[in-house]
Structure 1
Amino acid sequence: MPSLPGLLLTLTLGVFALTAQAERPVDRIVAVVDDGVILESELLQKLDGVKRSLRQGNTALPPDSVLARQVLERLIVDKLQAQMAEKAGVRVDEETLRTAVQQIAQRNNMSVEEFRESLRQEDIDYADFVDQIRNEIAVSRLRSSQINSQIKISDREIQNYLETQNPSGASSDTQYLLAHILIATPQAASPAQVQKAKEKADKLLEDIRAGLDFKQASLSASDSEQALKGGELGWRKKSEIPSLFADLVDHMKEGGVEGPIRSSSGYHLIKLIGVKGGDQHLMTKTRVRHILIKPNEVLSDDDAKKKLLALKSRIENGDDFGSLARGHSDDKGSAIKAGELGWVQPGALVPPFEEAMNKLEINQLSEPVQTQFGWHLIQVLERQQSDDGDEFRKNRAREELFKRKADEETELWLRRIRDEAYVEIRLESE
């Protein structure tokens, strides 16, 4: 989920025009996107949020006209995805939405009420904020169904990855911070369109090497999804870097820029911002059990928490955890095993559960922990550390190959839905 600065968007009124019937302000349409529209107020709101985020990062702003074009293009792609999610019947239930807001508040060390107050102080309507979170979750689920479900990783690919990326079998945590610029070409691009994109990428690379800031170049010219973040891809292991760039990073120096690199999406420029890590870790596995109480039409959220606290008190007074789990837990799969989830690896459980579990001593009972599934009482039974075994390395290889493919397929998918959509931009004509 996006971080708070990216989500805190200041509502700003647009330039108003007079209607024919009455002298009252109306919201201009700045783009028609298939069967929807983008209003000037949406553009100005998003533009204001992007400017705020860039200023917080001490990034010089490009001219408003250039930044507005970039922001509008991102809104167009977002609108297309939201329309697709709606047509596909993707729904976000209130419990998932409530949990998402709670997690955002927790990451900012606030209660939900404190978080709402911080939004109010930023002149952000809470209902609008929640609607944005709803849309982001829906789009994430759409991408999962459209892209992730289609990606297959074969055993042969995993074996090849282990042999070529890591022939010794050792686990490396070296990470690279890359930034990326894409000069896109449409699907089935003509030779003239490909040549025009190549010339633009060449000129941009020349300007960057002559002193143009890479972030500025990304904000002004990139067609990548990361354009408004200055092109940054975040810290990644080599295996998580798109395969198009992966072989280049070993030969790049920090601050170096490479390109243009041709792909089916267009031409790419990449910059190596930093390198860190390189140490191995031991993996900690945890044997854990829990009791789950789910709120429902009869049992309110507060009552579910109180019920769990009563069960905790009984255990502390001598009642058997396993017996209470069998009799009361709403997780029927673990209830029949006295609440046991067995041995779990890092990342196997939802973040609020895992964070609480990792703080517990052996046999210690947690306070009630809320996740999207309900309220949990958690107890750690054992922990053990082990060096990365073959099975774990295979699982990690599968995850890293999946992420690499997902990044590449997402870029292609976004370009495809943009190229195939009907889009009429009215930014300059109004």
Structure 2
Amino acid sequence: MNRLFSRSCAALAIGFSCAMLAMPLAAAPRAVDVDRIAAVVNNEVITRQELRVRVDQATRQLKRQNVELPPADVLERQVLERLILERAQLQLARDTSLRVDDATLERAIARIAENNRIGIDQLRATLEKDGVSWTQFRDQIRTEILLTRLREREVDNKVVVTDAEVDNFLASNPDAFSNQEYLLSHILIGAPERPTPEQIERLRARAEAVMARLRAGEDFSRVAAATSDAPDGINGGSLGWRRLDRVPALFAEVARNLKPGEVSQPMRSAAGIHIVKLMDRRGGEGTAALTLEQTHARHILVKTSEVLSDAEAESRLRGLRERIVNGADFGELAKASSADLSAAKGGDLGWVNPGDTVPEFERAMNALKPGEVSQPVRSPFGWHLIQVLGRRVQDVTDERKRGLARAALRERKAEQAYEDWLRQLRDSTYVDNRLGRE
């Protein structure tokens, strides 16, 4: 549909939760590291100070997850590579005028506090108790939002899933939406965008060396932390509990044939060579029939910006609401005034299931009777006027399967496209890695 819907929002402001509290940033490092350079990324430097902060953070996270730490030099190299990728993305965002304004940042922080059931003051006190300054915390949240928006613009918003692809997915994966979940971990031996035969041979040699360590009984998470080129490698390579429709097709195919504790043979993809371990499996088979109360709604969206404040956006919608109450056509005003993709259809969102929209929108929509128009409602996307056109109870089992299939395909495509985009960005970035030169 569009970014109003929460499934498309990924980790944008509304997606942050207690994860930030569970992974505090490191306190300031030793003064001796301050002026030393770890790497140069295009025309910017990554200092030893920045690297030490991230290494300390990664160390604490691995210990919390009971993952055996890789050698210090390996961990430092892995963390630096993540910093390089992050810096390259931030440079691209800045060079293309992508920004996160203070209002968006404040709403994201408010949601973090709300998700942890604490107030802003208590959130700040908790962070400072852990040695994390409020300025440091705000900077990291701003960075996370910026990276999410960059990914949405450069990758996610360009992903298209056709009806034919959904039909083929459902025909080929009759058990895709069972209640069974898999706990998978993986190791990626990353390949450049167009590897030469010599590079492919080096990748195979690395993969065989990794397999030798695993066959010798080394802990998978420790080997992943030490050798994987995937972003989650430094965390032990765990993908968490997922249904098979929520993992890459290559992983899903092999996971079906693995027993808990077993490790796959190395598998090739465009990204490189993968090694997958099935840690555990849970849940039963079958997808239960589902009936839901759906709401037929339409809306008008006014987005805030540097030239349109919250107060002005709200005032504009109050004026539109007054015109609607006095007889103006909601749909015509939506076509003329709404900033949403649904404007061409008079703001019509069709039949909406519970959970399809962000919480602020859903609460306001659910409070309306058919025919009623809401007062202006603020969400992470701007200000809305909402009108409910009707409600019904519907068997959505088949619709749900198609929706899940579309979301699964979109996620798979987006993940692959994001990996390819990151690899291309890394290959086109000038990097002078100075680790080990001193």
The alignment partner of 1:349 has SS state of: coil
Deviates more, 1:278-287 or 1:416-425: 278-287
Cα distance in 2 for partners of 1:357, 1:55 equals 43
Does the 8 A contact of 2:364 with 2:377 survive in 1? no
Aligned 8 A contact 1:186 1:419 in 2:
yes
Indicate whether 1:203 and 2:209 are aligned: yes
Shift of 1:382: 5.4
> Which deviates more from structure 2 when the two are superposed, residues 339-348 or residues 61-70?
339-348
Select the residue among 235, 240, 249 that pairs with 1:234.
240
- Alpha carbons of structure 1 residues 384 and 186: separation in structure 2 relative to 1, 3 Å: same
- Of the three residues 13, 27, 31, the one matched with 1:11 is 27
Q: Is the 8 A contact 1:179 1:272 kept in 2?
A: yes
One-letter amino acid of the counterpart of residue 280, structure 1: T
**C-alpha distance in structure 2 between counterparts of 1:280 and 1:192, whole Å:** 47
Distance of 2:91 and 2:120 partners within structure 1: 29
Aligned to 1:127: 135
Q: Counterpart of 1:58?
A: 66
Structure 2 residue 109 is the aligned partner of structure 1 residue 106: no
How far 1:6 sits from its partner (Å)?
6.2
* Aligned partner letter, 2:397: D
Which residue identity lines up with residue 251 of structure 1 in the other structure? N
| 1:271 is the counterpart of 2:277 | yes
Tell me, what secondary structure is at the counterpart of 2:117?
coil
Report the residue type matching 1:386 in the other structure: D
Residues 99 and 371, structure 1, Cα contact 8 Å, conserved in 2: no
Partner of 1:48: 56
1:222 Cα deviation from its structure 2 partner: 0.6
Pick from 374, 383, 395 the counterpart of residue 386 of structure 1: 395
State the 1:33 CA deviation: 0.8
- Distance between the aligned counterparts of 1:358 and 1:279, measured in 2? 32
How far has the Cα of 1:14 moved from its partner?
3.6
User: Is 1:250–2:266 an aligned residue pair?
Assistant: no
Letter in 2 for 1:132: Q
Structure 1-normalised TM-score? 0.79
**SS of corresponding position for 2:295:** strand
Q: Which amino acid aligns with 1:31?
A: A
**Paired position in structure 1 for 2:268:** 262
Equivalent residue in structure 1 for 2:231, among 225, 232, 235: 225
Q: 1:86-165, aligned counterparts within 5 Å?
A: 86-165=94-173
Q: Does 1:280 align with 2:287?
A: yes
The one-letter amino acid of 1:71's match is: V
Partner-residue secondary structure (3-state), 1:348: coil
AA matched with 2:220 = F
Deviations 1:69-121 (A, max 9, x none): 11111111111111111112111122221111111112222112211111111
Distance 2:181 2:408 in 1: 13
| Equivalent residue, structure 2, for 1:32 | 40
Q: Which residue of 2 aligns with 1:23?
A: none
TM-score, L = length of structure 2: 0.78
Q: Deviations over 1:21-69 (max 9, x none)?
A: xxxxx42111101121111111111111111112222222222222111
> What one-letter code is carried by the residue in structure 2 that aligns with 1:195?
E
Which has the larger displacement, 341-350 or 105-114? 341-350
Q: Name stretches of at least 5 consecutive residues in structure 1 with no aligned partner.
A: 18-25, 309-321
Answer whether contact 2:30 2:49 (CA < 8 A) is retained.
Answer: yes
For 2:257 and 2:110, the matched residues in 1 are separated by: 43
Indicate conservation of the 8 Å contact 1:95/1:372, yes or no: no
Structure 2 portions without partners, runs of 5+? 1-10, 319-323
Give the equivalent residue in structure 1 for 2:4: none
Match of 2:196?
190
In 2, Cα distance between the equivalents of 1:283 and 1:102? 34
Q: Could you tell me whether the CA contact under 8 Å between 1:260 and 1:267 is conserved in 2?
A: yes
Q: Distance in 1 between matches of 2:416 and 2:402?
A: 21
Give the AA of the match of 1:95: A
Identify which of 213, 235, 253 aligns with 2:219. Answer: 213
Q: Deviations over 1:283-317 (max 9, x none)?
A: 5334387999999758499x99xxx9xxxxxxxxx
Shift of 1:351: 4.1
Q: SS of the residue aligned with 1:269?
A: strand
Quick one: structure 1 residues 395 and 359, their matched pair in 2 at CA, closer, same or farther if it must change by over 3 Å?
closer
CA RMSD after TM alignment:
3.8
Looking at structure 2, the residues matched to 198 and 371 of structure 1 have their Cα atoms a distance apart, in angstroms, of 49
Q: Is the 8 A contact 2:39 2:432 kept in 1?
A: yes
SS in 1 for 2:91: helix
Taking the aligned partners of 1:175 and 1:144, their CA distance within structure 2 comes to 27
Residues 185 and 377 (structure 1), Cα distance of their counterparts in 2 relative to 1, 3 Å cut: closer
Name 1:21's counterpart in structure 2. none
Counterpart of 1:388, as a letter, is T
> For residue 179 of structure 1, what is the aligned residue in structure 2?
185
How many equivalent residue pairs?
A: 400
Show the counterpart of 1:317: none
Q: In structure 2, what is the equivalent of residue 319 of structure 1?
A: none
For residues 353 and 189 of structure 1, the distance between their equivalents in structure 2, rounded to whole angstroms, comes to 48
Residue range with higher mean Cα deviation, 85-94 or 149-158: 149-158
Structure 1 position 376, deviation (Å): 8.6
- Superposed CA deviations along residues 179-210 of structure 1, whole A, max 9, x for unmatched, are 11111122322222211211111121121132
Deviation at 1:357, TM superposition (A): 7.2
